[in-house]
Chain A
């Protein structure tokens, strides 16, 4: 077990190293000149050249990358070009908002996804099942900015139940969490449905029925717990899905998390911030996958560790 954990950890670190290299290479290719941006339009060529030398932007690629990596190992993500602040501080300041949104979205998708999947499985092949599955398809086919804007229109503009974007109270959290959660709901409900159907066909469920246990008791005590486990193991994977959504959803709702930070940085070509957020998101995704791999054998002992 421990050998497996250590090997997977090593692999994860290698992937993160690869991601830092690819991100760095990509942004090295950006045609926009950060030195020119910092100096402003009216600056002389000399000033621009000075700033470039100051930032080390005149060095060859590998020198810049090695220095970047060295700083990374010390937890230094560099300084924002335009805000003159440490990127790590900017990200740390916005992390709580993103984590809050992530937590809320996971709650939404688990509640909705598991319930919908369970109902669909119990009413298998009925009209209820069909419509729930169509609903789950709609949720994975709807872009998050459309869902977000429509929710804002109906529940904030028309009904006035929630504020139009922003951050601070529980009411601010509801709509963005639902927007992100709906995408996951589609996946979870489909997984829960097939997992439930598998469990319902097991011998021990038949035994429980034969013993004359009540239907509700069988479902709550014997079916649901066994069906939920493999679905829960997917939460790790789900984090990747979440990280892709935050840029859009945080922009739509004006949610001050790292997604919004990244989006603002992209518009101003503030490269250190873009790299920082990409790396932090990648860490989350890699960690999530690692978690999923480590949880899976605990949940289902039949899965062998490779």
Chain B
């Protein structure tokens, strides 16, 4: 019984209580609202989009051929090809969320695996893995991502992989530190002495303790991922047109920003809102899930 308590902190606080906390606090409530709204927009995109996002409409441009400002007909205006910006932003939410979740998922799995392996086994495997992590930390992340994206002609999957290759490092370091201190604790030594298999110790006794950190840094990581995707797409080496992404919408239209600022403002706002939402949610999760993590960066 004591063993179960000691090794499964997740039982200590109900998921229901955490959820209630998240809804009650204004910052996380705001974050959740934004995330749920954008998720809904992405899922139900075909039914919500007022126009075909790739349709270069004849009446989507002024007589002089300039993009139209927001109006009752085109809520957020049109882009330089006469396409409805609102429809493209909704489809862009799909892109951002798919890449955000996919890239961050890969990064979390990769980072956690490296961190746990290095932290639990230590020795020369741990040494090599952590030196490699140090090396990746010293890489100018964006430059690395740009080079990678330029090498492999970007598709959605490639962009996600590139971002994951850059973003797993943070998670690896956090998990490494925690696993290493866990591995030296008494209850793990007891398990070893009792002859539990390594696999069982890792799965039943180490991993449950890491769940909080994985959730917190996984949530914060989505924000980083969304920003990186937007930046790569803005530079033209991320998601490729005609697939809309908030970053490449700005990339395509930026020459018009002086006369048609809505083409930068609305996609920019969408990026900031989504990244902010995950940052706020992650921050509140850090406070509610584990008081020990408070104030750490």
Binding site for B on A (CB under 8 A): 11, 14-16, 18-19, 22-23, 26-27, 29-31, 134, 137-138, 140-146, 149-150, 152-153, 157, 187, 190-191, 194, 240, 243-245, 247-248, 251, 262-263, 266, 269, 274, 277-278, 281-282, 285-286, 289
Contact = CB atoms under 8 A, between A and B. Distances in A.
A194 B227 contact: no
Given A26-B151, A137-B280, A278 B271 contact: no
B150 A141 contact: no
Contact of B264 (A29, A30, A150): A150
Contacts of B258: 153, 157
B286 to A, nearest CB: 12
B248 to A, nearest CB: 12
A150 B235 contact: no
B292 to A, nearest CB: 15
Interface string B239-261: 00000000100100010011001
Interface in B138-152: 138-144, 146-148, 150-151
A30 B151 contact: yes
A285 B140 CA distance: 8
B151 A138 contact: no
Interface in B198-240: 223, 227, 230-231, 234-235, 237
Contacts of B275: 141-143
B151 A18 contact: no
6 contacts: A22-B135, A27-B147, A141-B272, A240-B140, A245-B142, A247-B146
A143 B254 contact: no
A148 to B, nearest CB: 10
Given A149-B268, A243-B140, A266 B27 contact: no
Contacts of B280: 137
Given A30-B151, A138-B272, A140-B279, A248 B235 contact: yes
Nearest to B151: A30
A194 B230 CA distance: 31
B142 A248 contact: yes
Task: Give the dominant DSSP class at A's interface.
Answer: helix
Interface residues of B, number: 43
Given A153-B261, A194-B295, A278 B143 contact: yes
Given A27-B147, A153-B261, A269-B150, A143 B234 contact: yes
B223 to A, nearest CB: 6
B265 interface: yes
A26 B138 contact: no
Interface string B78-94: 00000000000000000
4 smallest CB-CB distances across A and B, nearest first, come from A146-B268, A141-B276, A141-B275, A281-B140
B264 A146 contact: yes
Contact of A145 (B134, B147, B234): B234
